[in-house]
Chain A
Amino acid sequence: MSSTVNGVVFLALAFATIGGAVMMLSTRNVVHAAFWLLEVMLATAGVYMLLSAEFLALVQVLVYAGSVAVLILFTIMLTLRRREDAIREFEPGWGAGILALLFGGALLFAVERFSAQLPAGVMPEVVPDVAAFGEKLFTTWAVPFEIASLVLLVALVGAVWWSGGDGK
């Protein structure tokens, strides 16, 4: 990956991400919304590739586009009694929209205001590869890594406990 990010690629990926999110929120079919979320996750993996975070792009595709999308689709299918239940009535949520607009505007204003303190426009040349990432993960970040695996184990047991076994 070159040291300067091509604006065209960024614009395409940003359009895919934001457009997918808008479509996910505007479609009335829950199953379609799940597939639009999948598209957003894949476009985000592309953004990670632009930022030369190859490992994160891989994890994004595996975890989000793979497992999470399948999990969401399974839940939707399990909780739909009829096919027509997937189509939901239009929920504009004007109050929530205004709140989100105000929040986003305030955040954009703050980012713009403090943009002078942001790092310079061009990306630095130095790019560590995946091997360096793994080495750091198992030396500097070894303890958080173990804690993360513990969190996943507890979440696994909890999810099985909650969703299964009502006969007990």
Chain B
Amino acid sequence: MTVFQPVGALSFMALSVVLFSLGLYGALSRKSTVMVLMSLELMANAVNINLVALSRFSAPAEMTGQFFAVFSMVVSAAEIGLGLALVLALYRQRRTVEIDAMQELKG
């Protein structure tokens, strides 16, 4: 891809792949629950970019990918809200936000 050429769908997918891999790395390696949730948001973001880009390049009139991205945003907003509420509940019970503190199924 030269710089002054129009960008194809492949470039957007590559961007999405890199972002998703970074989010995967963060979600697997961090020990703070908040950092894990932030990495999950990164992965959701990558998926949304992919949806919108492919919809734009293949069938822009239908905008199906954009609607999928909107609903995916709704789900990930609900997920981050519930996740952070869980983090607060965990903090209230254990006084810590480390993932290692959650080793039992029944507290």
A: which residues have CB within 8 A of B?
A: 4-8, 10-11, 14, 17-18, 21-22, 24-25, 30, 33-34, 37, 40-41, 44, 47-48, 51-53, 55-56, 59-60, 63-64, 67-68, 71-72, 75-76, 78-79, 81, 88, 91-93, 95-97, 99-101, 103-104, 107-108, 111-112, 115, 118-124, 126-128, 132-133, 136-137, 141, 144, 148, 151-152, 154-156, 158-163, 166
Contacts and interface: CB of A to CB of B under 8 A. Distances in A.
B30 A91 contact: yes
B66 A56 contact: yes
Nearest to B28: A96
Contacts, number: 231
B8 to A, nearest CB: 4
Main secondary structure of the interface of B (DSSP, over half): helix
B71 A93 contact: no
Contact of A126 (B7, B11, B61, B66): B61
- State which size class the interface on B falls in: 35 or more
Given A56-B66, A136-B67, A8 B88 contact: no
Given A7-B3, A68-B80, A100-B21, A44 B38 contact: no
